[in-house]
Structure 1
């Protein structure tokens, strides 16, 4: 099978996406597939995907140019002619690659590609839309605030971003206002949940074992996620059977509430509140596939090595 792996991109998750693309391309080649690697933000230059994840997102000026080039390429017939494989494997995270925009263009062209349908991808990418849809389906979520509350610990984060970039824990209204000022675009203000953090992958109809996340400094930010020694992830999570089942049930409910089905895949992030009850934070439609990523860790605990996980994602492609 001939597969085009798309990675890199223009978002502040560019380095993570490049690492995912490198890992996926290597795994697919090991399975015997013919693989082309394309970075839509730098095409027609060759993609330079590397397994090592950089510490910083692209500087603002570089990110702006990458976005302009990405959008220009989407209007190029030559660009689309280069994406001529049997399946387009989306290893893009953030921005155009995960907002549903690129997926919609692939659907319009009749291209087979990995990832959930474009409208579901868009709903998952917008955290405010995600929380609203989950709450409407009676899935427990953190309490959100329209205006900064005073003397209440909160999490302030971009509504349209990922990889825990520009996520701030704030103690009062002043800190919340300062955090908002540092974020471009729409912002989500949520109550701070003090309990343990988990993530649950769902691949097709299979719910993977929950992963317990223990950040080294108590905060699961970008560095803790992707830099060596930044955190400890344990899978299967060492929790009692009742909590394990509850986490897996909520993951399934969350994905179906957003429109996922048995031919898609994703990852659901959860955290325990002060009573020990899990609440769903978000649903990731194109979760990381790097050596430090959580979906491959959970797949390994379920008996899939990384190439087998990639092959299963391919099988689900639409």
Structure 2
């Protein structure tokens, strides 16, 4: 089954890179998207708004080659984040990059994390009247803060684990966090970050203190929740269609950055080898989560689940701009649905331009 989009002749600017810990993943996604759009007959410009020279490539036309990009084993340092954000804001609010964006038929947002996924970039594009792929600023903001998102999901009937927010370095460990650790193990992770950056399994108060010592400042807020020992799944929604369930077969306690972006680091099975009624339940929960956070039928998302020891699935988070690299999970789910990678990218563009 192939998508029948109107990509031929469209001018598309792809935004990738950015200022987050997922910068490298985004650069990989951007190049993969560019190759797919060129295959579909589009004219493409690849832009990293945080770079000193923002236009990475283009305008590229069908038949031209896009260089590859290898995602490293560790996320990039954020020591230069303020400067990257200054460049990003300047590029998106004036000058030649803004003119490129205004001249495009559509902007493909392949930014992950940080301003690219928390609604900042989407708000700037909305104010400029520029059409772009993916969710709008409100849905991105709703999904980005895991604590608030889980509160919304729980109210909508999507099962979520107990959770406590904690600022390492901001004084004594709250009693609620201590209680969870004592009942342990737990998972501690930034409440607003992606690609499983800085995700820690914690088995004792001493390990929690070590996590706190590694955090550069008290400004970083963590979410602490019970470690779920069961199987892990993810489900993508593209428009009104829920894709097949992917199972993530872990060889490590948590699905961290290294496992996500190094080929062969984990097993990823699609469709997951699970009973049909359980697959249907995960798909229904993913669609409910997608809608509860304000994602419309013109957007896409990926919802992650992990099971309790009893097998009951718990929603971990909803990703507004999931990775689109060759080893990413949404392209794998699309393959399970019978779509080629370029079909998936064409469908995302079609949702934004219909």
- Shorter-chain TM-score bucket reads over 0.9
**In the alignment, does 2:90 pair up with 1:63?**
no
- String of CA shifts for 1:231-273, please: whole Å, max 9, x gaps: 1100000001121111111101111111112111100000111
Q: In 2 relative to 1, CA 187–217 (structure 1 residues): closer, same or farther, beyond 3 Å?
A: closer
Q: Equivalent residue for 1:178?
A: 210
3-state DSSP of counterpart to 1:74: helix
3-state DSSP of counterpart to 1:47: strand
Distance 1:162 1:88 in 2: 22
- String of CA shifts for 1:187-228, please: whole Å, max 9, x gaps: 111111110000000000100000000123343111111112
Q: What is the TM-score normalised by the length of structure 1?
A: 0.95
Distance 2:275 2:349 in 1: 33
Q: Equivalent residue for 2:109?
A: 90
Q: In 2 relative to 1, CA 317–46 (structure 1 residues): closer, same or farther, beyond 3 Å?
A: same
Q: What is the deviation of 1:45?
A: 4.2
Q: Equivalent residue for 1:121?
A: 140
Q: What is the deviation of 1:181?
A: 4.0
Q: How many residues align?
A: 318
Q: What is the deviation of 1:43?
A: 4.9
Q: What is the deviation of 1:79?
A: 2.5
3-state DSSP of counterpart to 1:61: coil
CA contact (8 A) 2:74 2:258 kept: no
Over 4 Å off, 4+ runs: none
Distance 2:334 2:20 in 1: 26
Distance 1:126 1:181 in 2: 23
Among candidates 241, 245, 248, match of residue 206 of structure 1: 241
**In the alignment, does 2:185 pair up with 1:166?**
no
Q: Equivalent residue for 1:143?
A: 162
**In the alignment, does 2:297 pair up with 1:265?**
no
Distance 1:70 1:232 in 2: 36
**In the alignment, does 2:151 pair up with 1:132?**
yes
Distance 1:294 1:276 in 2: 22
Q: What is the deviation of 1:62?
A: 3.0
Q: How does 1:246-257 map to 2 (within 5 A)?
A: 246-257=281-292
Q: CA RMSD in A?
A: 1.6
